[in-house]
Chains A and B, each alone.
Chain A
C-alpha cells in the first residue's frame, strides 16, 4: 500500500507545470529578447566576418607606404592619405578599364539572361528527354576546369576573328556563365504556379504571351538575382580577359589590377588596395540599384492561397 501511495506526492512534486504559467509572460518575453539578442549578435559576427576584407581594403587604401610597413597595423589609418588613389590613377588607365569591364560584364549579363529565360522555361515546362539531356549538360559543363577549355576556345575564337575583341570576350562570358544562369533560373520558373499559366491560356493567351505577360513579371526577382550573378562573375573574371585581350586600351579592370603586382608575391600594396577599392564600387552600385527591385519582385510574385 505504502509502496503504491509513495509515487503520488513525488509525481505532484515533479509537476511544475501549474506554477510555470504564472511567471511565463515575463519570462517568455525575457527569453524571447535574449534569443533575439543572441540572433542579432550572431548576425553581427557574420556581418563583420563578411565585411572584414572590404573594411580592411578601405583602411589599406588610405594608408601611406610607411604605415603599411608598420609592425602594428591599425584599424584606421593614422594619417589618411589619397596618395594611393592618385598613384593608382596616374599609373594605370583605371577609368578606361572600368568602362571596358562595365561594357563587357553588362553585355554578358544581359545576353546570358536573355538566352536563359526562354531556355529555362522550356526545360521546366516541357519535361522530356531533351530537357533531361539539357539538365545533364548543365551539370557536366560545370565540371570542366577553365584550363582545359581555354586553348580550344582560344583557337575557335581566333578562327572567328574574335581574339583581342570585347565582343569575343562577351561571347566567352556568356558561354561560361550560361549553365549556372540556366540552373538558377530553372528554380525560379519552377516556383511560378502552373495554374496561373492555365488561367492565362483560358483567357486566350498564347505561349509567348503567357511567358511575356504572366511568367516574366513573376520571375523578376529571379531575373535580378541571375543578372547580378552573371554581371559579378564577368566583372571579376581574370584569366579569359588576360589571355584574350592584347590591346592595352581594351583590357578590363581585373587585368589592370595585376599590374600592381610583381614577381614572387611583391606588390605595390597601397595603390593596389586603392585600385581594388575603386573596382568594387560599380558592383556595389549595381547591387544597390537592383536590390530594391529584387525585394519588390519577391513580394509581387506572391500568390494568394
Chain B
C-alpha cells in the first residue's frame, strides 16, 4: 500500500508542478448556474447506515431547496488514492466522509478547508474538546469527528459463567493483569484446544498504538518543536508485551489469529475455540447476524492499565470525519450541511446505523444508544473516555506504519524477534522516517 501511496504522492507532486494553473482554477464544487449543488461522498457501507445517510440527505434537500446535496456512494477501498487523484485534478467532492488518519496528509497538503471559522457555535458545543483534538492539526481544523468506535471485549458468556468468572462492567473493568489471569484460566490444550482470547492483528500498528494509551503509553510522541519522536518505554511496550506473553508463554491466545482480521476470528469464537475477542464496537452487528441460535455473547469493556491517566479507560481512536474540500465553492453551505448531519438526533441515527458511537456529548446519552441490549450502554460508557489516537496529526505515519512498524510488530508478536529488536526497529528506523517529514 505504501508503495502505491508513495508513487501516487510522487505522481501528484509531478503532475501538480507540470499542470497549467488555469487547469485547477475554479474546479471542484459541482454547482451549476442555479442553486448550488454539493456532492457528498459517503463511505457508509452497512445497509442500515446507507439508508440513514440517504434519508438525512433527502431530509436536507427537502428543507433546503436553495442548496441541494447529491449523495455519492464511496468505498473504504482505495479512498485515499481516489481522493488524492480528485484533489489533484480539481474535481473533489464538496463534503467528504473519511477517517481521521487521512486528515493529516490532506489537511497539511492544502486539500481540505480549515473549518475553524466556518462551523456554527452550536456544532462546536455539541462535540467535546477531546473529539475536536482528533481533527485539529497544524492550527487548522480539517474535519468534524462524528463517529468513533472503541475496542471492546466480546465474550462468550456461557464459557465465562461456567468458569465462574465475574463479568466486569464499564464502572469496574478488569485490569490487564486480571484479564491475563482469566485468559489463562479459560484456556486448555488438547485436541479441542480452547484459548481465553484471540488477538486479530491484521492491522497491528493501529491496535498497538491505540491500546498503548490504556497503559499510559503512546509510542508516537510530539516534541516541543512539533516533530514526531518514536519511543518504546515501559508504558509503551506494556500492551505488546502482554500479547506476546499470551501467545508465546501462557498459550492463552493462538498465534494463528495474529494474521487475521476481526471477521475471520468470528467462526472460532462461535465454535467456542476462543472465549473472548477484542474487537471494534461495530463488530457487534456481524456477531448479531452470524451467531448461531442460542449463542450467548456479551459486550465487556476493555481491560485498563492501573497506572495510566483516566484510570486506564482512555483508548486512542481515529474517528470518522466530515470535511469540506478546499476547492468547494460553497464552503458555508457545506459547513451548514455538516452541522445538519451532526445534530444530536442525526448523530444518533448515523451511529445506530453503523453500530458505532457518536462523538456528541448528548448523543452519547441518548436512550436509543444507552440501552443494555447488544452492549450499547457499555459501548457508550467506554466511548466517553476516548482520546485522539497517537497516530493522528503525525506526518509520515503511513510510511512508518507500512515500512517499519507493521513488519516489526508482526515479527514481535509471532515471537521472531525480542523486545530489544522491536525497540531498535521502531525507534531507530522509525525516527529516520519521521525526520524526513520535518517541514
Residues of A within 8 A of B (CB): 65-66, 68-73, 87, 91, 145, 147-152, 154-155, 158-159, 163-164, 238-239, 242-243, 246-248, 251, 255, 258-269
Contacts and interface: CB of A to CB of B under 8 A. Distances in A.
Q: Which of A71, A251, A261 has the most CB of B within 10 A?
A: A71
Nearest to B24: A155
B313 interface: no
B60 to A, nearest CB: 17
Interface stretch (B74-82, B109-117, B231-239, B402-410): B74-82
A39 B72 CA distance: 52
A269 to B, nearest CB: 8
A91 B47 contact: yes
Which 9 A-B residue pairs are closest in the complex by CB-CB distance? A69-B290, A71-B271, A258-B75, A265-B261, A154-B89, A71-B267, A151-B15, A147-B8, A263-B76
Contacts of A148: 7, 10-11
B99 A263 contact: yes
A268 B282 CA distance: 13
B217 interface: no
B27 interface: yes
B45 interface: yes
B58 interface: no
Contacts of B7: 145, 147-148
Contacts of A164: 91
Nearest to A154: B89
A149 B7 CA distance: 10
Contacts of A258: 75-78
Given A248-B72, A266-B262, A158 B290 contact: no
Contacts of A72: 271
A155 B19 contact: yes
Contacts of A68: 290
B78 A242 contact: yes
A116 B11 CA distance: 29
A158 B202 contact: no
Given A150-B8, A158-B27, A159-B23, A66 B291 contact: yes
A229 B271 CA distance: 44
Per DSSP, chain A at the interface is helix
Contacts of B15: 151-152, 155
B77 A261 contact: yes
B137 interface: no
B439 interface: no
14 contacts: A69-B291, A71-B268, A147-B81, A149-B11, A151-B8, A155-B19, A238-B78, A258-B77, A259-B50, A261-B77, A264-B202, A264-B203, A265-B261, A268-B47
A259 B42 CA distance: 11
Contact of A246 (B91, B282, B291): B91
B73 interface: yes
A247 B30 CA distance: 11
B77 to A, nearest CB: 5
A72 B273 CA distance: 12
Nearest to B75: A258
B85 interface: yes
Given A155-B19, A246-B39, A268-B46, A259 B89 contact: no
A250 B23 CA distance: 24
A248 B273 CA distance: 43
A151 B89 contact: yes
Given A71-B271, A243-B85, A255 B261 contact: no
Contact of B45 (A69, A255, A262): A262
Contacts of A66: 290-293
Given A242-B82, A251-B73, 16 more contacts: A66-B291, A70-B271, A72-B271, A91-B50, A147-B4, A150-B11, A151-B85, A154-B89, A155-B23, A164-B91, A242-B78, A243-B82, A246-B39, A259-B50, A260-B45, A268-B47
Contacts of A151: 8, 11-12, 15, 84-85, 88-89
Given A70-B270, A151-B15, A267 B263 contact: yes
Contacts of B45: 259-262, 268
A233 B267 CA distance: 35
B30 to A, nearest CB: 8
Contact of B270 (A69, A87, A260, A267): A69
Nearest to B202: A265
Contacts of A238: 78
A242 B11 contact: no
A238 to B, nearest CB: 8
A86 B165 CA distance: 42
Contact of B73 (A145, A159, A259): A259
B286 interface: yes
A266 B93 contact: no
A265 B263 contact: yes
A69 B91 contact: no
A91 B293 CA distance: 26
A292 to B, nearest CB: 37
A139 to B, nearest CB: 20
B54 to A, nearest CB: 10
Contacts of B10: 148
B316 interface: no
A9 B174 CA distance: 91
A257 B71 CA distance: 17
Contacts of B266: 69
A154 B261 CA distance: 34
